[in-house]
């Protein structure tokens, strides 16, 4: 029972760190002067944390089936967010940059909602 609790605590801690990275990314996206390189670095940190730490924990969890829908949606949203980061970096037009920022804000909001749902599912 202790190993299960330790595993759950580790999952919750990694998820909390992932949320902090996403929130940092969200605040960068909301700034008037977005630094594309910094944004990409922060995105890559969040993506790497998810892929190397959180996802393996979720897959190996006894409740893996319960987390499957969240994994799928988080993976999809991260892929799309990665494309948005790349497009934002290459954008020259101010209107295009604003559109990309708005799209990224929406994706980050959605990602944070999925994380909240995952956190609730972990607590069950």
Give yes or no for residue 79 having a pLDDT over 50.
yes
Number of Cβ within 10 Å of residue 97's Cβ equals 17
Q: What is the mean pLDDT of the chain?
A: 90
What pLDDT is stored for residue 71 in this prediction?
93
113: domain CATH number is 1.20.120
The total number of structural domains that make up the chain: 1
What pLDDT is stored for residue 74 in this prediction?
96
What pLDDT is stored for residue 98 in this prediction?
92
Give me the mean pLDDT over the 94-101 stretch.
92
Note the helical H segments in the chain.
Answer: 2-30, 36-49, 55-60, 64-90, 94-123
**pTM of this structure:** 0.89
Give me the mean pLDDT over the 74-89 stretch.
95
Helices 2-30 and 36-49: angle between axes, nearest 10 degrees: 170
Using an 8 Å Cβ cutoff, are 4 and 122 in contact?
no
Give me the mean pLDDT over the 68-86 stretch.
95
Using a pLDDT cut of 90, give the percent of the chain over it. 69
Number of Cβ within 10 Å of residue 57's Cβ equals 19
**Taking the C-alpha atoms of 103, 106, 112 and 116 in order, what is their torsion angle to the nearest 10 degrees?**
-150
Print the domain residue range for 60.
Answer: 2-123
């Amino acid at each position: 029972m202790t190993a299960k609790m330790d595993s759950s605590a580790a999952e919750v801690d990694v998820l909390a760190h992932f949320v902090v990275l996403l929130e940092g990314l969200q605040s960068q996206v909301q700034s008037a002067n977005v630094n594309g390189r910094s944004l990409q670095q922060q995105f890559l940190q969040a993506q790497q944390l998810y892929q190397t730490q959180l996802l393996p924990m979720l897959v190996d969890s006894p409740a893996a089936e319960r987390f499957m829908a969240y994994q799928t949606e988080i993976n999809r949203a991260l892929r799309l967010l990665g494309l948005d980061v790349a497009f934002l970096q290459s954008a020259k037009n101010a209107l295009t940059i604003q559109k990309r920022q708005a799209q990224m804000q929406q994706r980050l909001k959605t990602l944070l909602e999925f994380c909240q749902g995952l956190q609730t599912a972990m607590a069950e």
